[in-house]
Structure 1
């Protein structure tokens, strides 16, 4: 048995704690927040093996530059004269290649499929009640150009053994009979599932507390004490904590902690927003509004609209222009749905940690033998949450990992 400290109480940290305690280790979670907000709570809830194309793909940087002066664009990269950002931007631009897409497809598929399976296993084993439905995911397109692009992804998905198909307008209406949709066409990724994130987060926190995991909230780690290539302890404002093994799963803040150990993680915060509508909108199928890059999820008791990737540093400022853009997209695709001012005013945001190549960091850096890094999942943190937690536990337990983790190595070069 090892004494383990996990820094970060989002989906990655909680999943790591779940599997570590199952393996017989003593676990403490330390989080700087109250652990009831952020990316793990405001995401679209998708378990999406269909998202096999990484964020760093051909043409994405070009789009980012084009959208730089559009405050309502789906992707916004704020230029900054900071060395960390400039290095990330250079590596991101280099990674926007066919080569990166080709090498990323299988590892993204593998870790998301495993994640989907593990959510189901956890629900069954622990008798959790969180929503878990496998209805698939619609990609709704308003232009022939986007429809053609999605059909190419369908072909790729099929080659990878994932269930996906094109829908006619008639079939789309049959799948969503209670809501009007303005579209040229759509595809359905039958391999996908969806959840209500907040419910799962509350259930797993309650389970972990009952299972003996110590959860320390509102404790920000200020310093890290190390001897050679090992961490000895970490210190917050109030206490010093020692352990055999440490896990950094602090999302967008992970690079700041790693920096204290001389580990340079290229990582940027990508802000996303969500709007919840508790009214019955008639939507029963999860969907992505393709041109607007807005996700729509019928969750337990409400419908969530989520979107944007705003790479502008670590902050929780609510940009109302981006919130309005999500609401406008909802109305454009579902003409009879109008999101109210009160619903927009209740919008929330979360920060997703984005690596230059769109692949997460999972594993140990050669610079620190008792530190496991688990961050950088971008928009797929929820899909990869449980599988990353299992991999973290296997790494620390010195077991053969369920997946080949070399591609996720935190020391990889770009």
Structure 2
């Protein structure tokens, strides 16, 4: 049955929900407080990552977070705040950071990433639009034996999950990337991964959705929700009232604020990440993560992107130059002869990734309102999981069997 659907949030998750819902014949409207030209969906590393099977909430992360709290240039930085939402999130994060939780999460994360990768391929082959998509895999480059051992242990765990992983020497890495002079001891190579150019994909997807009849209202803030019994009947924006049969909340780091209007708790913290784009030819052709520094390197369409850091410091878009410089320094340390231009560093941008306390997204319905679906909390995997999330949401709204089990993604698991 055709439905009127309003999606709150026009990032990669909201757009992918719209993509599959309009395919099912629904009339879709997207409302977003921005102009859909910036944010986490534009500044991410562009990775599709079946390799990333370990959730953020893992043993040792609390210790690392406390250690790195006093280092503004560290890969994972937590700014302590006496705020109820932050303190509750931190407690839930600590509670989730167990070996048992990691083992339970690994197959879930792997399966949704593999589903999403295949859906990206389907999109690419649809003929509807032509975007940059390459499956070259991912190099986890390391400079120390200790880090190399840790990365290989991760690789062996991935092998046990059915992924193809290789432990490469520096010489073997050179064969994959012959024109780059690495300062590394070796790399763990995952051939499961792919990469894209977000600034190429996002405008194309928006244009396609508009062509397919999806209505966009941008630069509009949600001011209120109207209810009737166990249903939402309308959302009020700063400019209009939008009525619909179904609503989707996919507003990224702002989702938990809007969820409070629904009287449900969706613990989220905004994890700020930065990117530096270099238009000069770096000769880099392989996506790589610089393991010790946790910096992602992506050869995108027309430029190379260096991205990284996870900064939990509230909702803001302030650029911390210390953290930006740390990304540039790390890149220059791993790639001999690489020099990040000063203008590229000065033009660095950031985005806010919605992080759940257990490292798993929220995908599903709520118990108190029948016609709202939540799709948020994807943290660093938002880009990777866009199509899978959109597909699952469309199946939920269409009352169809879902492409995978939703166990682990329950919206009210912390209520």
So what's the TM-score if we normalise by structure 1?
0.99
User: How far does residue 223 in structure 1 lie from its aligned partner after superposition?
Assistant: 0.7
Q: Distance in 2 between matches of 1:327 and 1:278?
A: 14
| d(CA) in 1 for partners of 2:90, 2:135 | 36
Structure 1: 5+ residue runs without aligned partners? none
Q: Tell me which residue corresponds to 1:254.
A: 255
Distance 1:328 1:335 in 2: 11
Task: State the distance in 1 between where 2:24 and 2:367 align.
Answer: 24
Q: Give 1:135's aligned residue.
A: 136
* Structure 2, gaps ≥5 residues long: none
Residue number in structure 1 paired with 2:20: 19
Whole-Å separation in 2 of the counterparts to 1:372 and 1:146: 40
CA shift, 1:80, in A, is 0.8
Match of 1:148 in 2: 149
In the alignment, the residues of structure 1 paired with residue 195 and residue 345 of structure 2 have an alpha-carbon distance, to the nearest angstrom, of: 23
Counterpart for residue 98 of structure 1: 99
Confirm or deny: 8 A CA contact 2:267 2:414 kept in the other structure: no
The aligned runs of 1:5-404 (5 Å cut-off) are: 5-404=6-405
Q: What do the CA deviations read for 1:3-27 (whole angstroms, capped 9, x no partner)?
A: 1000000000000000000011110
Which region of structure 1 is more displaced relative to structure 2, 205-214 or 335-344?
A: 335-344
Deviations 1:118-165 (A, max 9, x none): 111011113422111111000000111111111111111111111111
Look up the SS of the partner of 2:126 in the other structure.
helix
2: CA distance, partners of 1:270 / 1:379: 8
**Superposition deviation, residue 413 in structure 1:** 3.2
Contact 2:266 2:414 in 1 (8 A): no
Deviation, 1:288, is 0.1
Query: Does the 8 Å contact 2:277/2:303 carry over to 1?
Result: yes
Number of matched residues? Answer: 414
Looking at structure 1, the residues matched to 367 and 304 of structure 2 have their Cα atoms a distance apart, in angstroms, of 44
What is the DSSP-based 3-state SS (H/G/I as helix, E as strand, rest coil) of the residue aligned with 1:408?
coil
Give 4+ residue runs of structure 1 displaced > 4 Å after superposition. none
CA distance in 2 between counterparts of 1:368 and 1:146 reads: 47
Q: Secondary structure at the match of 1:231?
A: strand
Q: CA deviation at 1:226?
A: 1.1
- Cα offset for 1:90? 0.3
